[in-house]
Structure 1
Amino acid sequence: MIFDRVKSLDAILATAEKKGLHRSLGAFQLTMLGIGAVIGTGIFVLTSEAAQKAGPGMLLSFIVAGFVCGVAALCYSELASMVPVSGSAYTYTYAVTGELLAWMVGWALILEYAVGASAVAVGWSNHAVGLLRGLGWNFPAVLSNGDALMAKVSLAFGAEATPDLITATQVGGYFNLPAVIISILVTGLLILGTTESARVNAVLVAIKIAALTAFIALTIPVLKSENFTPFLPTGGTGVLGAAASIFFAYVGFDAVSTAAEETKNPQRNVPIGLIASLGVCTLFYLLVASGAIGAIGAQPVMDASGAVLAPGSAEMAGRCAAITASGILEPLVCSKEALVHVLDSIGWPVMGRLVGLAAVLALPSVVLMMMFGQTRVFFVMARDGLLPAKLASVHRKFKTPHVVTAVTGVVVTIAAAVLPVGRLADYSNSGTLFAFLMVAIAVLVLRRKDPTRKRPFRVPAVGIIAPLAIIGCVGLYVSLPLLAILVLPVWGGIGLIVYFMYSRKRSHVGLGLDDVHEDDSDIPPMPGAAPPVY
């Protein structure tokens, strides 16, 4: 049987009890934790992508994405309160539906964390290049994006040589050097063991909030109602497509659910923290998006035949380059630093530079946390025997998992070097949506399999909330671009090959070695041997 391996939930719960976490967090602290984890990624880097897909209708997209995140977060919280250990959705799935599906979730989480980190690195690059431009130094285009490379690859695979595609080969770049630099720096910091203190993180959150508040205060007074017409230029399909991309802007809210074990009165405070943080972030997003749309408009860019171009495509890059070269004000959908561009366009260039500086300061911390999350998932998988133990090796001097961090860094760097932020975000979302789908299914399965087990937090109206989460995740997934939809099954197929050729025969659960030791969670269980230190 391929579904017969389930990690002992009792062993995991015993581990949680041994940790003895102190319950000190209230609803306010959880809300601030969620806001800090969510704001700082998508709103800075995906506003123009969403506008190209839905136009002003992206306001509805933020609401749809926030709702799906909300119902998924409630499911996440029930399992997090029951299984408060490392591994996130991977561990929850292992304890409920078994090893094979847990492997698939862990494999999909690579798309969420590693590819997500690449997307943020590219977003940071766009803002860093823009900030340098504002200071009078034009960073070479050939080293700040991969538009020309993408265009030539498209032509090589038989794409029609449209004027937009030809323009992209002439004015685009081949390599995103700033994104590569920040990826390498973050990888190095993780290997050295550098961590953020709560004080530094609080300062970064304050910077992000202040920048977005300033943007709202400057743009709302000058918005024009005609810029919201037509409101749905691409119809409901465009709204859902933008929601599928904007979903990336909410990634990070699970930090609230994973703190359930340290929360006072989790039955009350966890849902308050989740809903309040998502509500505040959604409100911020709606106000920022409204300011951007109302100030300069957000209608999609079309090709010569009147069809909406795909954001992040080589054709889109070529069309935007042609528009800019003609002397027309650059459309919002073409800007790689949308909020800065809006402030520049309405006569606040200095404030635009400050918003860009805020993004440059804040986004590296998001890259760091995503890469850290990836290493933790790899750690637990290696500890379970599903990946080589070498990946969980601990550096003798720095006491960090240098091998898995370096491997993650290489993947993040390569992706950030050549792919645009929109495509990376869509690829990341495909993995995230699958993981959230499995969490919602796990909640329903465990309610039926083990209804009497203690649940510090219970999903209210689980028969409605969990199915809504499942439907929402599936709906957003099928609304992703075709290539992003195909990434998940192709990546999953590769994962299945690895599982059956390597992981299954080495699984510690399969070998009867399924004890969990969270106090040494950085080290895979190796009976009779000392942990490897290199």
Structure 2
Amino acid sequence: MFLDRVKPLSAILATAEKKSLHRSLGWFQLMLFGIGCVIGTGIFVLTAAGAQKAGPGLMLAFAIAGAICIVAALCYAEIAAMIPVSGSAYTYTYATMGEFLAWTVGWALILEYAVAASAVSVGWSGYFSGTILNEFFGIQLPAFLAAGPLALGGAPGGLINLPALVIALLVTWLLMIGTRESAMFNAILVAIKVTALTVFIFLTIPQVELARFNPFLPAGVFGGLGTGVGAVGAAATIFFAYVGFDAVSTAAEETKNPQRNVPIGLVGSLLFCTVFYILVAAGAIGTIGGQPIMGPGGIPFPAGSEELARQCALPQHIQALVCSDEALAHVLRQIGFSEVGNALGIAAFLALPSVILVLIFAQTRIFFVMSRDGLLPDVLSRVHPKWKTPHIVTAITGLVVAVGAAFFPVGQLADIANAGTLYAFMMVAIAVMVLRRTAPDIKRSFRTPALWLVGPATIAGCIFLFVNLPFAAMLVLPAWGALGLLVYFGYSRGRSHLGRGVVEVVDDIAGVETTIPIDPPHK
């Protein structure tokens, strides 16, 4: 019952074969693409939260998260090149392990993208309030409009994060009316982000004081399961900073000599980003310090908690790295580069909305594909007659993202988003190994090297990071999953197109539709 209803791989591949994509990308282009996709949100937004969890051990945390991403990326590359159609991990699972597990993956992706978009909105809000309003206009946003409620980790007196709410709704409106970023615009934003971080490294590294790294691991390597602190706990949070590499995997079909160039592009871009992140963390912590604010028993106060918010309001902590909503710009101001810090704040202010747009767009795409398969109501895949966009699902998604951004702190949101991401990545690794057994003869333009090692390493790494998330974030995924099971068995299973004997595969890039009637499976 749970492993039935496998979508015929032949139907999916029939759609892919109708596409005619020219192989033009080399390893260098893939590396640049990967760097552009990965660098951005996490490093701008989560440096302070990561430092509160691990102190200088944040540098080790970036290395741990990067290593797990590398093995996950190699699994993603094989299956993305083999099944190059919409739906990401949801479609891959549907074609290998059946509808039920595919539903759980799609449901987890809904959590991942929506909550991640909320997290980026909160991160944008910090740069908007600190750089644009305060530094340029001298306006101090009232505390009750600058962060969510105190009990959820906002600043003292916080009621609602108004800038985060507004940017989420604005991006949603742009998506509904059909505005999409162009490749040139995106390239400019990528250049802005990378340039800003490069300048940050060059200005901070010469001023690093080694004494600020002592103790290097104030909360240890393992802070304890469910605590979310220590180097591994920080790795589970700043894993968020690497998400986006899977976009490189999807370019495997357009790559020259993919067996050589895909792993170079994937591993090279992730290694570059890992070193880049470590240098940024070293520059931030080594100049103004990044030791966590400790609570009872020598354990750091949880990032985004009520207790930490109270500590950060005290005079002795108000300038601390771990208390900043715009960590990197704050560091540059503290070491005498106020104008450059403001420029970096502007870079984040300009670049982060495009990340919100991509995340909400990806969320609506998953909803759209699941609705098209009959697992969600048809109204969610309805397209506006004038705007030509799935306006209903976009509006629903945007409202959820806006509410999350308005009331939750960035650290908690990132942890929740990571829980869904880690589950999806684990299922991709399982799907690759299953397909090697069930479909060994199907053409693979890229084969994961040493899958017997890389596959289990991906699964173990994802589980390892998951159990080192804060306990509350770990609970969200099974709670969300339980709600998903109610929806699946109460609505989706009985209305599934595959369950009724019809397979429809539409590739949204190529505009190709394949409808294949099959015998309904026995129920």
TM-score (norm 2): 0.94
Aligned to 1:532: none
Aligned to 2:42: 42
Aligned to 2:144: 142
1:240 corresponds to 2:229: no
1:222 to 199, 207, 232: 207
1:323-367 deviation digits (Å, cap 9, x = unpaired):
xxx255621111111101111111111111011000000000100
Could you tell me whether the CA contact under 8 Å between 2:312 and 2:323 is conserved in 1? yes
Q: Percent identity?
A: 61
Aligned to 1:165: none
How far has the Cα of 1:172 moved from its partner? 2.8
1:203 corresponds to 2:196: no
Q: How does 1:44-443 map to 2 (within 5 A)?
A: 44-131=44-131, 132-135=133-136, 136-148=138-150, 150=152, 171-237=156-222, 238-303=230-295, 306-322=298-314, 326=315, 330-443=319-432
Aligned to 1:485: 474
Give the letter for the 2:197 counterpart.
Answer: L
Distance 1:9 1:380 in 2: 16
1:158-214 deviation digits (Å, cap 9, x = unpaired):
xxxxxxxxxx78x33100010011101100111111111111111101100111011
Give the letter for the 1:53 counterpart.
Answer: K
Could you tell me whether the CA contact under 8 Å between 1:392 and 1:524 is conserved in 2? no
C-alpha change, 1:81 and 1:373, in structure 2 (3 Å) is: same
How far has the Cα of 1:24 moved from its partner? 1.9
C-alpha change, 1:114 and 1:127, in structure 2 (3 Å) is: same
Distance 1:98 1:526 in 2: 18
Distance 1:460 1:304 in 2: 47
Distance 1:58 1:271 in 2: 26
1:128-159 deviation digits (Å, cap 9, x = unpaired):
000111121111221010143537xxxxxxxx
Aligned to 1:494: 483
SS at match of 1:112: helix
1:72-126 deviation digits (Å, cap 9, x = unpaired):
0100111001100000000000001110000000000012111000000000000
C-alpha change, 1:106 and 1:521, in structure 2 (3 Å) is: farther
Give the letter for the 2:321 counterpart.
Answer: L
SS at match of 2:313: helix
Give the letter for the 2:95 counterpart.
Answer: A
Q: How many residues align?
A: 508
Could you tell me whether the CA contact under 8 Å between 2:15 and 2:514 is conserved in 1? no
Unaligned runs of 5+ residues in structure 1 are 152-167, 529-534
Unaligned runs of 5+ residues in structure 2 are 223-229, 518-523
Aligned-residue Cα RMSD (Å) equals: 1.8
C-alpha change, 1:305 and 1:244, in structure 2 (3 Å) is: closer
Distance 1:278 1:218 in 2: 23
Give the letter for the 1:415 counterpart.
Answer: G
Distance 1:252 1:431 in 2: 14
SS at match of 1:172: coil
Could you tell me whether the CA contact under 8 Å between 1:111 and 1:429 is conserved in 2? no
Give the letter for the 1:185 counterpart.
Answer: L
How far has the Cα of 1:36 moved from its partner? 1.0
TM-score (norm 1): 0.92
How far has the Cα of 1:517 moved from its partner? 2.7
Aligned to 2:521: none
Distance 2:508 2:233 in 1: 43
SS at match of 1:235: coil
1:447 corresponds to 2:436: yes
How far has the Cα of 1:232 moved from its partner? 0.6
Distance 1:344 1:427 in 2: 31
Could you tell me whether the CA contact under 8 Å between 1:392 and 1:523 is conserved in 2? no
Could you tell me whether the CA contact under 8 Å between 2:505 and 2:515 is conserved in 1? no
Give the letter for the 1:411 counterpart.
Answer: V
Could you tell me whether the CA contact under 8 Å between 1:383 and 1:525 is conserved in 2? no
How far has the Cα of 1:526 moved from its partner? 9.8
How far has the Cα of 1:527 moved from its partner? 11
1:287-312 deviation digits (Å, cap 9, x = unpaired):
10000011011111023664310001
SS at match of 2:350: helix
Could you tell me whether the CA contact under 8 Å between 1:389 and 1:524 is conserved in 2? no
Distance 2:92 2:263 in 1: 19
Give the letter for the 1:54 counterpart.
Answer: A
1:510 to 485, 493, 499: 499
Distance 1:116 1:192 in 2: 22
Moved segments of 4+, more than 3 Å: 304-307, 519-528
